[in-house]
Amino acid sequence: MADVLFYVLAAMVVGGASGVVLQRSPVGSLLFMVGTLASVAGIFVLLEAHFLAAVQVIVYAGAIMVLFLFVIMLLNLGHDYQADMKRGFGAFFAFGTTGLMAGLLARQLGGAGENPIYQYFPGPDGMDRILAEEGVIGAVARPLFTEYVVAFELVGILLLVALVGAVALARGRG
Amino acid sequence: MLPESLILGAILFVIGTFGVLVRRNAIIIFLCIEIQLNAVNLTFVALSRYLGIEGQLFVFFVMTVAAAEAAVGLAIIISIFRHYKSVNVDNFNLLKW
Q: What is the pLDDT of residue A165?
A: 93
* Angle, alpha carbons B37-B40-B41 (nearest 5°): 85
pLDDT band at B18 (very low <50, low <70, confident <90, very high): very high
Mean pLDDT of A114-135: 74
Beta strand spans in chain A (E): none
> What is the tens place of the pLDDT at every residue in A32-71?
999 999 999 999 999 888 899 999 999 988 899 999 999 9
Chain B contacts in chain A segment 31-60 (CB below 8 A): 33, 36-37, 40, 43-44, 46-49, 51-52, 55-56, 59-60
Touching check for A68 and chain B: CB below 8 Å?
yes
Helices (H), chain B: 2-22, 26-51, 54-84
Whether A64 and A30 have beta carbons less than 8 Å apart is answered as no
Distance from CA of A165 to the nearest CA of B (A): 6
- For chain B, what is the largest distance between any 2 Cα atoms, rounded to a whole number of angstroms? 50
Q: What is the pLDDT of residue A82?
A: 66
* Angle, alpha carbons B34-B67-B90 (nearest 5°): 50
Least confidently predicted of A77-91, B8-22, B62-76, B80-94: A77-91
Q: Which residues of B touch A8 (CB under 8 A)?
A: none
Half-sphere exposure of A45 (CA within 13 A, CB side): 15
Distance from CA of A63 to the nearest CA of B (A): 9
Residue in B closest to A121 by C-alpha: B51
Mean pLDDT of B54-77: 92
A136-to-A86, A133, A143, B43 alpha-carbon distances in Å = 45, 9, 13, 19
DSSP string, A137-170: HHHHHHHHHTTTHHHHHHHHHHHHHHHHHHHHHH
User: Residue B63: how many CB atoms within 10 A of its CB?
Assistant: 20
- Cα-to-chain-centroid distance, residue B38: 7
Q: What is the pLDDT of residue A112?
A: 65
Interface touch A124/B49, C-beta < 8 Å: yes
B5-to-B47, B83, B85 alpha-carbon distances in Å = 9, 43, 42
d(CA A137, CA A30): 30
d(CA A73, CA A25): 12
More confident residue, A40 or A24: A40
Touching check for A101 and chain B: CB below 8 Å?
yes
Interface touch B27/A67, C-beta < 8 Å: no
pTM equals 0.89
State ipTM: 0.90
Mean pLDDT of B59-63: 93
Q: Which residues of A touch B35 (CB under 8 A)?
A: 17, 20, 33, 36
Interface touch A118/B50, C-beta < 8 Å: yes
E strand or H helix at A109, and its extent? helix A89-109
Interface touch B53/A130, C-beta < 8 Å: yes
User: Residue B10: how many CB atoms within 10 A of its CB?
Assistant: 21
d(CA A94, CA A97): 5
Partner-chain residue, chosen from A72, A106, A143, that has the shortest CB–CB distance to B53: A143
Touching check for A91 and chain B: CB below 8 Å?
yes
> What is the tens place of the pLDDT at every residue in B24-56?
888 999 999 999 999 999 999 998 888 888 889
